[in-house]
Structure 1
Amino acid sequence: MSIPFPEQEGELRQPSLMRRFAAMIYDGFLVVAIWMCAGFAAVGLNHGEAVSGPVLQTVLFLLTFAFFAYFWVRLGQTLGMQAWKLRIQTLDGCHISLRQALIRFMTAILSFACFGLGFFWMLFSANKATWHDSFSETQIVLLPKN
């Protein structure tokens, strides 16, 4: 069951690419902090020896997804999105599902891998949608000032 957000459709606008990037930078710092904590824990569990390899990379990948999925599905906003008054929602204004979060996360990685082309796509898209917006059937909206 989708839970709608309280704002009316007419109150919400599409955010600029720069505002989206600002929220991504903010969230990037938080993700790096999560990685550092995981790295410290891994070194501690490995008796003080350095840890690397596919297991650690997989754990970091899953922790990153867990961070975004939790905030997107549960609150509709990561901490960076809260700071920049952005929210993720379905096209009809409801909370997104875990499936949509996974599709969005994986497509955003593809967007980065293509030198940001999936992000810059919004500059040419009629509805200002990035690749990950389109594939996950979600949208980022700019919340009104309170």
Structure 2
Amino acid sequence: MTDTAAPASARPAALIGWRLLALLYDFWPVLALWMLVSAAFTVGYILSGHAARENIAPLSALQWLLWLCCWAITGAYALLSWRRGGQTLGMRPWRLRIVGADGAAPGFQALLLRYVVATASTLAGGLGFWWAWLDRDRLTWHDRVSGTRMVREPKRG
């Protein structure tokens, strides 16, 4: 795909509000994926001999495995979307795109690092996201660490 728009350095950085709207929009397809994974775990739990109404023990290995699977499914959704066109479903309406520092499409390792650091930032109460308000270039922690940028594309005329 050829990009005739301005280079990434000339494009405006995505404001935190646009990022949050994209996250809210992306929550719905990810929630559907989580529900599918949870249903598969529930069926597996029942088929393994447990009663249908028996609760899973808190902090059991099965719960940790479910959390890990949901995190991996979310990462697969984000990474595949970013690799395919630089955007998730939630980023499209807001014209947001992930690009490398040089404006080119980022590599898989940079995107994976971006996802891992964004996860850590979220677990830290979103500090890495809120950092964009203080950063002179409006970059989050995962932007800085991965060498990627989220930019807002101009409207197509």
**TM-score between both structures, scaled by the size of structure 2:** 0.82
Structure number, greater radius of gyration:
2
Relative to structure 1, the CA distance from residue 115 to residue 73 in structure 2 (aligned partners, 3 Å threshold; closer, same or farther) is same
Of 83, 90, 99, which residue of structure 1 is paired with 2:109? Answer: 99
| RMSD (Å), alpha carbons | 2.1
- 1:55 Cα shift? 2.3
Tell me which amino acid in the other structure corresponds to 1:7.
A
Q: Which residue of 1 aligns with 2:130?
A: 120
CA distance in 2, matches of 1:91, 1:84: 20
- 1:47 Cα shift? 4.3
Q: Which residue of 2 aligns with 1:16?
A: 15
Checking the alignment, whether the CA contact within 8 Å between 1:72 and 1:78 is kept in structure 2 is yes
Q: Which residue of 2 aligns with 1:66?
A: 76
- 1:132 Cα shift? 0.3
Unaligned runs of 5+ in 1: none
Relative to structure 1, the CA distance from residue 116 to residue 55 in structure 2 (aligned partners, 3 Å threshold; closer, same or farther) is closer
Checking the alignment, whether the CA contact within 8 Å between 1:5 and 1:93 is kept in structure 2 is no
Report which of the two has the higher share of helix: 1
Identical pairs, percent: 31
Paired residues in the alignment total 144
**DSSP-derived class of the 2:14 partner:** coil
